[in-house]
Amino acid sequence: MAVPIDDYLRTQFMPHIWCPGCGHGIILGAVLRAIGRLDLPKDEVCIVSGIGCASRAPGYLDFNTVHTTHGRALAFATGIKIARPDLHVIVLTGDGDAAAIGGNHLIHAARRNVGLTTVMFNNSIYGMTNGQYSPMTPRGRYASTAPYGNVERNFDMCELVRAAGGNYVARATTAHARQLSNYVENAIQTPGFAFVEAVTQCPTYFGRRNKMGTPVDMIEWFRKNSINAAAAAKLDPADLDGKIIIGEFYRGDAPEYTEVYDEVIERAKEAAAR
Amino acid sequence: MPGHNGRDLRLLQGNECCAEAAILAGCRFFAGYPITPSTEIAELLSEKLPQVGGKFIQMEDEIASMAAVIGASLTGAKSMTATSGPGFSLKQENIGFASFTEVPCVIVNVQRTGPSTGLPTAPAQADLMQARWGTHGDHPIVALYPSTVPEVFDLTIKAFNIAEQLRVPVILLMDEVVGHMREKVAIPHQSEIEIVSRPQPDVPPEEYLPYAAGPDGVPPMAPFGTGYRWHVTGLYHDETGFPTTAAPKVDRLMKRLYSKIESAADEITFTSDEFLDDADTVVVACGITARSARRSVRLAREKGIRAGMVQLKTIWPFPYDLVGDIAGRVDRIIVPEMNMGQLIGEVERAAKGRCEVVGYSRVDGEPIAPAEIVAKIEEV
């Protein structure tokens, strides 16, 4: 179903700041189409971001929008959601924002199972500051602060969020826009903490430094190197090296934080009345 | 128990009193992280807030606490956090965000001896400058400073009201001694307490400019989720709330943020004084040290010395005019403080050389006794 998304955009601020060929627009489109299919009233949607390329997204979106401090989007969003549980709070964040400086907030938001939808734009690089390696940069890849190849291993954020207690975990790439949008839709509908990793291309910094070719080449690379979770489960882990495993990894039904807190309020009021 | 004028007379610790006052001021959201000597505030609010339908959350760290407080306030909830020195340092970036995006909130800092982990948890008054300049960049801030438990009640209410009226983070600086001391407090009935709430837009959503200020310099603030969709950013922004790099707009925003505080300065400056009329020596102090100062000038008067004192309950904005007027009338000002000399710098700026300004620092984790101040009064 084609979903018009222009109504969700503050088109007066276009053109956007993202580089030509950047995949962030594909992810944003996937998010907006998910919101459109769910027909969420604009006044009831709140978009929260941190700092970085991905975190500039809310400025272009006609919802209640907050562009916060680096890494802290989930903590701001937690305050919003707890104070107004009826709002659909969606966090748009990058890999530096969510996996490095904001990693602890991600772990705890997942553990609390607060009803937040988090979409992590993973371009494996710090784009806003010109291409330093991030916790999502694979070992051996080049970055402006990894001129001899990255020493560190990259995170599997989906495993992390699942282990921390999130209720929904999925991953797709910009080569799988429709799938990605479906995952975001499922994430929004999940009570509790939901996490979608969106693997995206940064042709300007990651692509250029790692000789990945054009933006189209990078998307094509995602397509060829992605493997569905079900198929991946049948393979030897050694054969998955360098592959991007995509799919829905987990759906849980642990109680959502604000619903549990509502029970606390009931108990507290009873205690006060005694 | 019912007390005079139908008020509820309670024996309360400063921290407990702060929590009780916060609820009466309308606080409905608290996010915090455990740290001595402020923790009783969080403990009591975890019990009391849900009783009135409010929300309490213990976050994963101090940074997250400050962020959650701002997030909750964006939905219209009067919000607060409480901490001490190390936690106050961690909160600073987000305090700057609240100041710049004009999100009302109250931050309690029950001070302890620093720097770093310092002397947990002996008292000190060394966060005066952190309260003013802890976050980077120019920014408006208000800081209030009680010296007794009843003042904790009064200034906690005022902190919320000022935060709402001016859309500014308000810092309630407390001394560890005040936070943990128990005193008698007459808690007024809710109906006797003046409550201020943030200005609301009187235009329909399509005409709402979230950062267009009225004559008082304060823009109306629509809660999230009420039909007014607006954008909040820590980037320089214009009246629409969206980012701008236009030099005149950048200049206008920063100057408005300062002027909204300056134009309300008289309303938000609270002081208390004794024996000022004929004094030739005046003690300027805040917090627990102001209590010793009060006692010290009474003792000095008994010795025939014309001493007076001023307690600054509002530290920021600093009452330069008030202190400057005193400096023009007296021979000397004595500034006792539990730090290496923070308040004295502002007193000197206010005095502009019109009188002698003498400091007295105590930095061993012990409060300053009245006799020490009397000795200083007699010495000079």
Task: Tell me which residue in A67, A72, A83 faces B235 most closely, judged by beta carbons.
Answer: A67
A116-122: strand order across its sheet:
A226-228, A244-251, A168-173, A194-199, A116-122, A88-94, A45-49, A64-67, B231-233
Structure token pair of residue A150: 């990255």
Residues A128 and A24: their CA atoms lie apart, in Å, by 13
B7 pLDDT higher than 60: yes
Q: Are strands A194-199 and A116-122 parallel, antiparallel or unpaired?
A: parallel
Average of pLDDT values for A132-146?
Answer: 97
Provide, as residue numbers in chain A, all residues whose Cβ is less than 8 Å from the Cβ of B50.
261, 264-265, 267-269
Rounded to a whole number of angstroms, the distance from the CA of B101 to the nearest CA of chain A is: 10
Give this prediction's pTM: 0.98
Q: Are A268 and B47 a contacting pair at CB < 8 A?
A: yes
Residues A188 and A204: their CA atoms lie apart, in Å, by 31
Contact A214/B at CB under 8 A: no
> Which pLDDT band holds residue B124 (cuts at 50, 70, 90)?
very high
Rounded to a whole number of angstroms, the distance from the CA of A243 to the nearest CA of chain B is: 33
Average of pLDDT values for A197-206?
Answer: 98
Rounded to a whole number of angstroms, the distance from the CA of A89 to the nearest CA of chain B is: 11
Q: Give A 243-262 residues with CB within 8 A of chain B.
A: 261
Q: What is the pLDDT of residues B234-243, one digit of tens each?
A: 999 999 999 9
Average of pLDDT values for B332-336?
Answer: 98
Per-position b or e across A68-96, b if 16+ CB within 10 A of its CB: bbbbbbbbbbbbbbbbbbebbbbbbbbbb
Q: Are B74 and A80 a contacting pair at CB < 8 A?
A: yes
Structure token pair of residue B349: 């700026």
The pLDDT of residue A88 is: 98
Output the average pLDDT for chain A.
Answer: 97
> Which pLDDT band holds residue A274 (cuts at 50, 70, 90)?
confident
Q: Best interface-test mutation with A: which of B46, B60, B65, B237 has the largest number of A CBs within 10 A? A: B60
DSSP E strands in chain B: the ranges are 8-13, 27-32, 55-58, 78-83, 105-111, 142-144, 169-175, 182-187, 231-233, 271-274, 281-285, 307-312, 314-316, 332-337, 356-361
Phi, psi of B266 (to 5 degrees): -60, -40
Structure token pair of residue B265: 């300065």
Q: Best interface-test mutation with B: which of A80, A87, A193 has the largest number of B CBs within 10 A? A: A80
Structure token pair of residue B312: 């600054």
Structure token pair of residue A38: 């769910």
Task: Tell me which residue in A64, A67, A264 faces B224 most closely, judged by beta carbons.
Answer: A64
The pLDDT of residue A249 is: 98
Q: Which domains does chain B have, with CATH numbers?
A: 4-192 (3.40.50.970), 271-379 (3.40.50.920)
> Which pLDDT band holds residue B121 (cuts at 50, 70, 90)?
confident
Q: Judging by beta carbons within 10 Å of its beta carbon (0-12, 13-18, 19+), is residue B61 exposed, middle or buried?
A: middle
> Which pLDDT band holds residue B178 (cuts at 50, 70, 90)?
very high
Rounded to a whole number of angstroms, the distance from the CA of A191 to the nearest CA of chain B is: 19
Average of pLDDT values for B44-64?
Answer: 98
A6 pLDDT higher than 80: yes
The pLDDT of residue B300 is: 98
pLDDT over 90, % of chain B: 97
Q: Are B71 and A75 a contacting pair at CB < 8 A?
A: yes
Output the average pLDDT for chain B.
Answer: 97
* Contact assessment for residue B227 and residue B205, using Cβ atoms and an 8 Å cutoff: yes
Q: Are A82 and B29 a contacting pair at CB < 8 A?
A: yes
Contact A83/B at CB under 8 A: yes
Q: Are B75 and A80 a contacting pair at CB < 8 A?
A: yes
Task: Tell me which residue in B57, B224, B234 faces A82 most closely, judged by beta carbons.
Answer: B57
Which value, to the nearest 10 degrees, does the dihedral of the CA atoms of residues B178, B179, B181, B185 take?
Answer: 90
Contact A132/B at CB under 8 A: no
The pLDDT of residue B4 is: 58
Contact A60/B at CB under 8 A: no
B71 pLDDT higher than 90: yes
Phi, psi of B283 (to 5 degrees): -95, 125
Contact A87/B at CB under 8 A: yes
Q: In this predicted complex, what is the ipTM?
A: 0.97
> Which pLDDT band holds residue B311 (cuts at 50, 70, 90)?
very high
The pLDDT of residue B297 is: 98
Average of pLDDT values for B215-232?
Answer: 97
Residue B317, CA atoms < 13 Å, CB-side half-sphere: 22
pLDDT over 70, % of chain B: 98
Cis omega (within 30 of 0) on the bond before B115? yes
CA B60, distance to chain mean position in Å, is 25
Rounded to a whole number of angstroms, the distance from the CA of A78 to the nearest CA of chain B is: 6
Q: Are B234 and A77 a contacting pair at CB < 8 A?
A: no
Rounded to a whole number of angstroms, the distance from the CA of B350 to the nearest CA of chain A is: 36
Q: Give the residue from B79, B48, B51 showing the smallest Cα distance to B65.
A: B79
Q: Name the closest residue on chain B to residue A270, using Cα atoms.
A: B51
Q: Are B224 and A72 a contacting pair at CB < 8 A?
A: no
Provide, as residue numbers in chain B, all residues whose Cβ is less than 8 Å from the Cβ of A107.
60
Task: Tell me which residue in B57, B71, B229 faces A76 most closely, judged by beta carbons.
Answer: B71
Q: Which domains does chain A have, with CATH numbers?
A: 16-273 (3.40.50.970)
Provide, as residue numbers in chain B, all residues whose Cβ is less than 8 Å from the Cβ of A52.
none
Average of pLDDT values for A152-176?
Answer: 97
